[in-house]
C-alpha cells in the first residue's frame, strides 16, 4: 500500500548498529584492519528489464560506490513529489560515488498500465530522471527487501551493506531531505581502499601480497609502493598483466627484508573501483 496521507513524511527506520568483525584469512597475516561491518548485506538485484542502463545492473558490479534504492511507481503522488530531491542527489553526488537506482514496483494489476515499459519511460522523461530504473513488475526486489510502502528508500554503503532504510514523501531542503543528504555524504566520506595486504613470513624476509577486493583492479602503470618507517620503499610487481598492460592480472607482490619494521608503513596504490572509469590513488597505513 502507499504511504497513508496522515503519516508525517519524516518517518524513517533507524540505522542498524555497527558490528565489528575480523574475517579469517586462509593463510598469512592481513596487515590492514578490515573496516567494521554495519548492517546486513544488501540482497542482490535480479531485475532483467531496465531503463537508462545498457545492461541489467547488479550490486556486485557497483561495489565501491554508495547506492540509494528508491522503490516507486509513477502513478503515486508521494513518489513523484519526492523525485526532485532524488534528481538533485544524482546531480550533486554521482561523480563523487553515488548511484541512485529506481525500483519501479507497480501497485495495480497489469491493465492499469503501470507494468508497461513505454509508460514508465514516458514518466521518467517527464520527470527528468537520468539515473537507472529497474522494472520490478513481479515485485521480486520489493519482496526481497521487505518493502511495504511507496516510496521507500534503502541506502547501501561502499561495501554492499544496508546502512539506512526509510519511507515517506520528502521535498528539497526539508528536514527529511537534509537527513538523507547527511547520510549520503557520511557514506561517501567513509574511507575505501578496495584492497588489503597479506604477509607470509619466511626465513629470509616477509612476502607481501596486495590483494584486491572483488571487482577492484590495481593500476600496473603506477606501481604500488610500500614506504617503511625508516624510509625504505618497496615496489610491488607481478608477472601477469591484462592484455592492455593497464592492470595487474594477479595480485602483485614484494618482499620485506628480515627484521624490517612493518608497523607504521604507508602503502600507496592506484586502484580502479567497480563502476568507476578513472583510477583513484589510495593511501593506507599498515597497522599490525
pLDDT in tens, 43-88: 999 999 999 999 999 998 888 889 999 999 999 999 999 999 999 9
The tally of domains found in the chain comes to 2
* Among candidate residues 189, 205, 231, the one where a domain is terminated: 189
Answer whether residue 288 shows pLDDT above 70. no
Which set of grid coordinates corresponds to residue 53? 542502463
Cα distance between residue 213 and residue 188, in whole Å: 18
Residue 16 shares a structural domain with residue 113: yes
Residue range 74-130, pLDDT digits in tens? 999 999 999 999 999 999 999 888 999 999 999 999 999 999 999 999 999 999 999
Minimum mean pLDDT range among 34-48, 54-68, 181-195:
34-48
Answer whether residue 26 shows pLDDT above 80. no
The residue range of the domain holding 223 is: 195-285
* Among candidate residues 164, 189, 214, the one where a domain is terminated: 189
239 within some domain: yes
Answer whether residue 169 shows pLDDT above 50. yes
7 within some domain: no
Residue 242 shares a structural domain with residue 169: no
Sign, Cα dihedral of 228, 233, 239, 243: positive
Cα distance between residue 48 and residue 136, in whole Å: 9
Minimum mean pLDDT range among 45-59, 161-175, 192-206:
192-206
2 within some domain: no
Answer whether residue 24 shows pLDDT above 80. no
The residues near 182 (Cβ < 8 Å, ≥ 6 apart) are none
Answer whether residue 170 shows pLDDT above 70. yes
149 within some domain: yes
Answer whether residue 249 shows pLDDT above 60. yes
Which phi and psi (to 5°) does residue 210 adopt?
A: -95, 110
Residue 45 to residues 99, 118, 157, 206, Cα–Cα distance (Å): 14, 22, 15, 41
**Residues 178, 184, 185, CA angle at the centre, nearest 5°?**
90
Rg (CA), the chain: 22
Assign residue 134 the CATH number of its domain.
3.40.30.10
Cβ(223)–Cβ(56) below 8 Å: no
Assign residue 258 the CATH number of its domain.
2.60.40
- Which residue would you say has higher pLDDT here, 179 or 273? 179
Amino acid at each position: 500500500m502507499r504511504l497513508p496521507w496522515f503519516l508525517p513524511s519524516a518517518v524513517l527506520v533507524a540505522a542498524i548498529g555497527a558490528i565489528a568483525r575480523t574475517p579469517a584469512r586462509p593463510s598469512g597475516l592481513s596487515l590492514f584492519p578490515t573496516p567494521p561491518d554495519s548492517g546486513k548485506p544488501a540482497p542482490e538485484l535480479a531485475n532483467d528489464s531496465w531503463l537508462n542502463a545498457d545492461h541489467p545492473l547488479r550490486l556486485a558490479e557497483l561495489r565501491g560506490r554508495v547506492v540509494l534504492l528508491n522503490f516507486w511507481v509513477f502513478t503515486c503522488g508521494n513518489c513523484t513529489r519526492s523525485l526532485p530531491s532524488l534528481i538533485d542527489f544524482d546531480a550533486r553526488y554521482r561523480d563523487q560515488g553515488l548511484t541512485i537506482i529506481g525500483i519501479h514496483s507497480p501497485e495495480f494489476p497489469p491493465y492499469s498500465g503501470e507494468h508497461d515499459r513505454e509508460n514508465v519511460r514516458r514518466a521518467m522523461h517527464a520527470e527528468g530522471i537520468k539515473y537507472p530504473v529497474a522494472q520490478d513488475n513481479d515485485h521480486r526486489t520489493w519482496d526481497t527487501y521487505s518493502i511495504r510502502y511507496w516510496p521507500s528508500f534503502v541506502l547501501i554503503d561502499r561495501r554492499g551493506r544496508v546502512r539506512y532504510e526509510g519511507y515517506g514523501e520528502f521535498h528539497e531542503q526539508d528536514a527529511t531531505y537534509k537527513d538523507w543528504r547527511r547520510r549520503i555524504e557520511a557514506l561517501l566520506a567513509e574511507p575505501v581502499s578496495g584492497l588489503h595486504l597479506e604477509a607470509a613470513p619466511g626465513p629470509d624476509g616477509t612476502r607481501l601480497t596486495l590483494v584486491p577486493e572483488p571487482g577492484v583492479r590495481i593500476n600496473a602503470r603506477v606501481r604500488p609502493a610500500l614506504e617503511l618507517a625508516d624510509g625504505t620503499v618497496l615496489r610491488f610487481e607481478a608477472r601477469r598483466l591484462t592484455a592492455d598492460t593497464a592492470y595487474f592480472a594477479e595480485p602483485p607482490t614484494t618482499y620485506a627484508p628480515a627484521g624490517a619494521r612493518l608497523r607504521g608503513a604507508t602503502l600507496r596504490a592506484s586502484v580502479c573501483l567497480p563502476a568507476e572509469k578513472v583510477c583513484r590513488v589510495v593511501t593506507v597505513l599498515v597497522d599490525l
